Structure 1
Amino acid sequence: MNDDATANPAAPLPRAALLAGLSIAIAGAVLFSTKAVVAKLLYRYHIDAVSLIAFRMLFSFPVFAAVAVWKMRTQPPLSTRDRWRIVGLGLVGYYLSSYLDFLGLQHITVGLERLILFLTPTFVLLANVLVFKRRIGAMEWAALALAYCGIILVFVHDLAGGSGSTILGSLLVLGSAVAYALYLLGTGEMVRRIGSLRLVAYAMCVSSAACIGQFFLLRPAGMLVQPAEVYWLSLVNAVFCTVFPVFMTMAAVQRIGAATASQAGMIGPVSTLFLGALILGEPVTGVQLAGTGLVLVGIYLLSLKK
């Protein structure tokens, strides 16, 4: 099967195939969202965002490198232009986005972080309006308004909790979401030409080199020596919160299509909210649930538009 093949939305899927695809998409979304919880646990060992992201990529890089080498041997070489585009996309979409996200997590709750990141589709839509002069309808404006009202509700709630760095953390995560939206805008045409698996593998290799290189530029090599718990949590972060979700999401898209897989991924913010409460002891309040609901409804309405 071609790695960027998607399910034909016009052809009805057998119930078993649909349930299997939905299960993969939901599991991938939950695992990917769990990275925020794992990051919070790692911060308890007094490591910073530079070290955290370096350990994450050190453990995940061999997998993506193996896929990249396989694709290099089995598919025609890329043009020089495509190679430079992948370098740029890898730096923006996985390095910068991840680094800003982990920096922000030092200051805000995992529930707020996940909700802000979930606004990425709205940034893509707004970029289409501002850059490509696309007109959007009243339903899309209403969906945007709902999503941003939900974020504001949770943000004000967390701000009232006394965390003076909530604004800084939210701005950093907002920057992460914008960076990833730029990555998505830049990958659309390349995915169709070279395939999603190949593109992700190459981009992740670029990101890994940037994250690991940044560590050795900014931190002494002695900081690679950490308690065993840091290595185990970093391994979980790399394998279960990075590698598995990437491949599970692509497998789900192949089975049930991008639109359905995207809607199934809406479980992510909800799972993060409750995992944060269960593992980190972060409170779950009615205001947070209401804000989460508004964001999910807004994103769901956007996902219905082709």
Structure 2
Amino acid sequence: MPKRSNYWLGAGLVFGAAFGFALKGIFIKSAYEYGIDTISLLSLRFLFSVPFYIFILSRKRIQEESHPQVPTITWLKLFAVGFVGYYVSAYFNLLGLNYITASLERILLFVYPTFVLILRAILLKKRITHLQWLALGITYLGIVLAFLKNFDAHQQKNIGLGAFWVILSGFTYAFYLISSDGLIAKLGTTRFTSWVIISALFPTLIHCYIENRLDIFNFPIPVYIISMSMAVFSTVLPTFMLSEGIKHVGSGNASIIASIGPIFTIFLATAFLGENIWLEQIIGTVFVLIGVFLISWKGKK
């Protein structure tokens, strides 16, 4: 049983990680106001993030007395997981934010545990219980409620397209989570997290080169400030704060604490982006969080 002081330290770290991840949509929407395209912004995010992860890996290697050999097949799996989880999923996520608000994006993205549940049932033959079916129903009812007013307001163009890309982002991220369990056990959380981010950099830069010849250094100065902020506060710090927090409170408690994320985004989007928040969206968010909580709670029992 962890000491109470350690528990509250872990809870604080998870809480801080949730806040950092919630900031991501705010940074992205702010950068888009300066005319940057999706793949260039993703490239800058990883270019500013990767040096931190390389430093962390180098420091860890120096501290370790022995350096176990990692089989080639493990490296191939690692790069495949990074490709899906941090290049494909992240690109779809940023693409969706061209069309929908940051608060709605966060609600949609937060349903990825439902995809994990469904994929485990299909791929791993895990039975979905009655409670989990109820949780799925509550979650998707919440999404419908959150959407209704957005369609009525006519303030967002191509909202359906934006929702499609964000939901696809959550779906691919669910594949990443399912595939990562065994690799984390073999490599450890720090090494795994660092390498999947690094591995996502290469396909991102190749994509950027094909699309605009890597012309990413001619944007206004605020774009680079925003990109660096997103790299530090919405990528590097949250990933390690979450990992360290899980050590102290456990993954079950961490998933419950992290469910505050969409609420953070709603208030941040209202304060910094001037987004309109309606009662239906608040109610829908509550339904989504209840559904996700039930899925996470049942999965960790």
Q: TM-score range by the shorter chain?
A: over 0.9
SS at match of 1:225: coil
Conservation of the 8 A alpha-carbon contact between 1:57 and 1:212: no
If the length of structure 2 is used for normalisation, what is the TM-score? 0.94
Identify which of 139, 144, 148 aligns with 2:136: 144
Conservation of the 8 A alpha-carbon contact between 2:149 and 2:278: no
State the shift of 1:69 in Å: 3.8
State the shift of 1:71 in Å: 5.0
Of all paired residues, the percent bearing the same amino acid is: 33
State the shift of 1:183 in Å: 0.4
Q: Quick check: 1:175 aligned with 2:175?
A: no
Conservation of the 8 A alpha-carbon contact between 1:58 and 1:212: no
If the length of structure 1 is used for normalisation, what is the TM-score? 0.93
SS at match of 2:219: coil
State the shift of 1:222 in Å: 4.0
Q: Output aligned runs, 1:159-238, within 5 Å.
A: 159-162=151-154, 163-238=156-231
Q: Quick check: 1:81 aligned with 2:73?
A: yes
Identify which of 238, 241, 244 aligns with 1:245: 238
- Give the CA RMSD over aligned residues: 1.4
Conservation of the 8 A alpha-carbon contact between 2:17 and 2:238: yes
Conservation of the 8 A alpha-carbon contact between 2:205 and 2:214: no
State the shift of 1:17 in Å: 2.0
Q: Output aligned runs, 1:216-295, within 5 Å.
A: 216-295=209-288
Q: Quick check: 1:119 aligned with 2:108?
A: no
Q: Quick check: 1:29 aligned with 2:18?
A: yes
Conservation of the 8 A alpha-carbon contact between 1:116 and 1:170: yes
Structure 1: gaps of 5 or more residues: 1-10
Conservation of the 8 A alpha-carbon contact between 2:101 and 2:275: yes
Residue in structure 1 matched with residue 38 of structure 2 by the alignment: 49
Q: Output aligned runs, 1:5-20, within 5 Å.
A: 11=1, 13-20=2-9
Query: Using the alignment, how far apart are the partners of 1:248 and 1:86 within structure 2?
Result: 21
Query: Using the alignment, how far apart are the partners of 2:73 and 2:213 within structure 1?
Result: 35
Give the stretch that moved more between structures: 207-216 or 193-202: 207-216
Query: Using the alignment, how far apart are the partners of 1:229 and 1:194 within structure 2?
Result: 37
Query: Using the alignment, how far apart are the partners of 1:286 and 1:222 within structure 2?
Result: 42
Q: State the AA in 1 paired with 2:257.
A: A
Q: State the AA in 2 paired with 1:20.
A: L
Conservation of the 8 A alpha-carbon contact between 2:44 and 2:216: no
SS at match of 1:128: helix
State the shift of 1:212 in Å: 2.3
What is the count of residue pairs matched by the alignment? Answer: 295
Q: State the AA in 2 paired with 1:54.
A: S
Structure 2: gaps of 5 or more residues: none
Identify which of 82, 88, 101 aligns with 2:93: 101
Conservation of the 8 A alpha-carbon contact between 1:157 and 1:288: yes
Conservation of the 8 A alpha-carbon contact between 1:28 and 1:249: yes
State the shift of 1:268 in Å: 0.4
Give the stretch that moved more between structures: 21-30 or 62-71: 62-71
Decide whether aligned partners of structure 1 residues 82 and 296 sit closer, same or farther in structure 2, where only a CA change above 3 A counts.
Answer: same
